[in-house]
Amino acid sequence: MSAPPPSADPLVKVEDVHAYYGKSHVLHGVGLTVGRGEVVGLLGRNGVGKSTTLKSIIGLVHVRQGRVLYEGKTVTGVAAHKLARIGIAYVPEDRRIFRLLTVTENLRTGLDRAGMSERRRRELLEKVYAIFPILAERRSQPGGTLSGGEQQMLAIARAMMLEPKIILLDEPTEGLMPRMVSQIRQIIELLRRERVAILLVEQNVPLTLGCSQRVYFMEKGEIRHEAIASEIGADDPIVHRYLGV
């Protein structure tokens, strides 16, 4: 096992987190870190607790034991809306676009924050419309009428409205056409250049290894392995061990 350099001042640090859905114990002491501006992949088979790990960071799942640190402060138990306002954005697996809200209104949900000047709002909107021209075209259309790929872009664009320091990105390429997948990849690269940290949960191994600096492998609600992404290939025995069928 290669030992990645420990991040001295991680943006997010998850320590021994245990979480439950009802009575079933889903996370058994998860621990991971994400540095500032770092893209970290989280790999593992279905149902090992990857999505739950993301939810426990943003406060959508109750953390029964352990803690989550953000910028060095414990944020376990802090309401999701407060975390969103201090820079943790979440793009869920099923995208969860506000279907009856127009594209612009979807974006405004993250834009109408305290301390945002009218000018800053316009700049941010123009910025994402420049990155995602298709959203600009559909700005007055209800979110529910967009295609799957467009909805995924809207979900990412909406998260960007929060000007986050980290985006928790859950299966962004699930069910998308190859052309869309490469677009998602470009967006991840772009966010990385802008020094936005990303914790990426993905089934697409080559994409994850290509975008991430480090990757974690999860199994049965625990982190089992950690590696530098560039040091392993998609057919590495480690990948087979944790993802092979």
Tokens 């998609």 belong to 234
User: Diameter of the chain by CA atoms?
Assistant: 52
Q: How far is the CB of 101 from other proteins (least distance, A)?
A: 6
Identify the CA nearest to 170 among candidates 157, 158, 182, 152: 152
Comparing CB distances to other proteins, the nearer of 59 and 207 is: 59
- Binding status of residue 139 toward other proteins by CB under 8 A: no
- Binding status of residue 141 toward other proteins by CB under 8 A: no
User: According to CB under 8 A, which one of 25, 36, 108, 224 is a site residue for other proteins?
Assistant: 108
| 188 vs 152: CA distance, rounded Å | 13
- Binding status of residue 109 toward other proteins by CB under 8 A: yes
The dihedrals phi and psi of 39, each to the nearest 5 degrees, come to: -105, 120
| 2 vs 33: CA distance, rounded Å | 16
Q: How far is the CB of 209 from other proteins (least distance, A)?
A: 27
Q: In this structure, are residues 217 and 238 in contact, taking their beta carbons and an 8 Å threshold?
A: yes
Identify the CA nearest to 40 among candidates 224, 196, 235, 240: 196
- For helices 118-131 and 103-111, angle between their N-to-C axes, nearest 10 degrees: 130
Comparing CB distances to other proteins, the nearer of 162 and 239 is: 162
Comparing CB distances to other proteins, the nearer of 89 and 196 is: 89
Task: Tell me how far CA of residue 70 lies from CA of 15, 63, 109, 122, 140, in angstroms.
Answer: 11, 15, 23, 29, 36
- Binding status of residue 58 toward other proteins by CB under 8 A: yes
Q: In this structure, are residues 96 and 174 in contact, taking their beta carbons and an 8 Å threshold?
A: no
Question: Number of residues in contact with other proteins, rule: CB under 8 A?
Answer: 25
- Binding status of residue 78 toward other proteins by CB under 8 A: no
Amino acid identity at 191: L
Q: How far is the CB of 197 from other proteins (least distance, A)?
A: 17
Q: In this structure, are residues 28 and 220 in contact, taking their beta carbons and an 8 Å threshold?
A: yes
User: According to CB under 8 A, which one of 15, 71, 93, 105 is a site residue for other proteins?
Assistant: 105
Site for other proteins in 154-173 (CB under 8 A): 158, 161-162
User: According to CB under 8 A, which one of 4, 31, 37, 92 is a site residue for other proteins?
Assistant: 92
Identify the CA nearest to 197 among candidates 52, 49, 13: 13
- Binding status of residue 20 toward other proteins by CB under 8 A: no
Q: How far is the CB of 145 from other proteins (least distance, A)?
A: 12
From residue 202 to residue 241, the character string flagging contacts with other proteins as x (rule: CB under 8 A) and all else as - is ----------------------------------------
- DSSP structure class, residue 102: B
Comparing CB distances to other proteins, the nearer of 9 and 112 is: 112
Interacting residue ranges for other proteins, rule: CB under 8 A: 58, 60, 79-81, 84-85, 89-90, 92, 96, 98-101, 105-106, 108-110, 112-113, 158, 161-162
